[in-house]
Amino acid sequence: MKKLFTFILVLAVAILPILVNPEQAQAKDVYSSFSKLRKHQTAGDDYRITRYNGPSKTAVIAIHGGKIEIHTSELASKVANRTGSDLYTFEGTKARRNGILHITSTRFNEPIARNLVSQSDKTLSIHGCKGKRAVTYVGGRDTDLGKKMASNLREAGFKVVKPPKRLDGKNPKNICNKNAAGKGVQLELTLPLRKRFFSGSQPTDAFYRYANAVSKALLQ
């Protein structure tokens, strides 16, 4: 009986973090590129790509959308719609273990995304990250646009923090910086912040305020 109790306790400790946090990160990316990912994962079943390539020279992307980093694709879609920008989302749609679909920004070579970004002069890449506080890290090489976004977000009541090195989006190989200007903006939103964006399936006031603040900066 004691052994059974110990086994159940160990199992609970292992499972509870997954139930509480839907974004259990992989120790490292399973796939180092999209070309490798698509050999093992099926479009339509495991992931979905959405794009809108219009006349805009601004691109809004979420390469870890769907169940990989929740609510990033919804935010990208809303911002693109409000600003008339081009849109790209890569969304995890697996029943579980969507974290294996994560490809880091410097190695994300999905052709549709690369092409869309390369044609843009202004690029916004929206990501999710872990954290205990509801904050946004503003990074990327387009520091002027980043400052506008940070200012607008603060005015809208959101906390903006300087990103740690691993989240600063400064690497020239980062997809947000692979546009015609060679510089873009990367937003990293912690999970506690993104959880404020939806109540059930309904967007909250926080979601709309955040989208408005970001959209305003893109249009300035």
C-alpha to C-alpha distances, 213 to 25, 141, 156, 165, nearest whole angstrom: 29, 20, 7, 25
Class of domain 25-219 as given by CATH: alpha beta
- DSSP character string of 110-150: -HHHHHHHHT-SEEEEEEEE--SS-EEEEESS-HHHHHHHH
Task: Render pLDDT for 67-119 as a digit per residue (tens, 0 to 9).
Answer: 999 999 999 999 999 999 999 999 999 999 999 999 999 999 999 999 999 99
pLDDT score, position 28: 87
The model carries a pTM of: 0.89
- Across all residues in the chain, what is the average pLDDT? 91
Residue ranges of the domains in the chain?
A: 25-219
187 is written with which tokens? 């937003």
Task: Render pLDDT for 15-52 as a digit per residue (tens, 0 to 9).
Answer: 434 444 556 555 589 999 999 999 999 999 999 999 99
pLDDT band at 8 (very low <50, low <70, confident <90, very high): very low
